[in-house]
Amino acid sequence: MQRKCAAHAALNNSVEAIRALPGYTGFLKPPVFEDIRRAVSPMADGGGLVYLATIKQGSLALIVRSDVEEPVKVVWLNFTEADLAPLLVRRRGENVVGGMLPAQLGYGGLQEELKEALPKLSESLMAPLAAELRTLGLKEVVLIPSGRLNLLPLHAASYEVKV
């Protein structure tokens, strides 16, 4: 127990030493909105950040821009936790019978899981998001998925934006 406390104190001391360095006062601190807005500034002309979260009611995209008067736009998408869960792990009773997570760990065919998951991600999540980004005139975004969305290959989901 004492070793753990000593290690914890040493870590805290190291973090404080780093924060004392010029330019590192925010080291390991959560960002505040102004930090996020500054991160968007270099891509102000047609770009932004898209924070993506999935909850029981659907998916929420927070589109952050620095080139508009209202820097955050909220977009709801029809991709729910109930849609997400079986893409990650499919069960039959108590048994795991498929899903992206087991496949990535070598317990199933990854190509088959991708064939099933990517069209669902494309249709319900990425295509509607891409259509909204196009409507807003955004040409370059950084997608920041949160929670269990981080476990899926969103970058591999193709989509068609209808003009």
The model's pLDDT over 15-69, given as tens digits with 9 standing for 90+, comes to: 999 999 999 999 999 888 777 777 776 666 668 889 999 999 999 999 988 777 7
- The CA-atom distances, in angstroms, between 2 and each of 5, 6, 7, 112 are 5, 6, 9, 50
Asked, for residue 118, whether it belongs to a domain, the answer is: yes
Percentage with pLDDT > 70 across the chain: 91
If asked whether residues 150 and 123 sit together in one domain, one would say: yes
* pLDDT higher than threshold 60 for residue 1: no
**Confidence band, pLDDT 50/70/90 cuts, at residue 108:** confident
Instruction: Indicate the number of domains in the chain.
Output: 2
Asked, for residue 46, whether it belongs to a domain, the answer is: yes
pLDDT at site 161: 62
- Cα 41 → chain centroid: 20
* Parent domain of 16: 1-30
**CA–CA dist 77, 150 (Å, integer):** 17
If asked whether residues 74 and 21 sit together in one domain, one would say: no
* pLDDT higher than threshold 60 for residue 152: yes
Q: Which of 68-72, 74-78, 90-94, 146-150 has the lowest mean pLDDT?
A: 68-72
If asked whether residues 109 and 98 sit together in one domain, one would say: yes
If asked whether residues 23 and 55 sit together in one domain, one would say: no
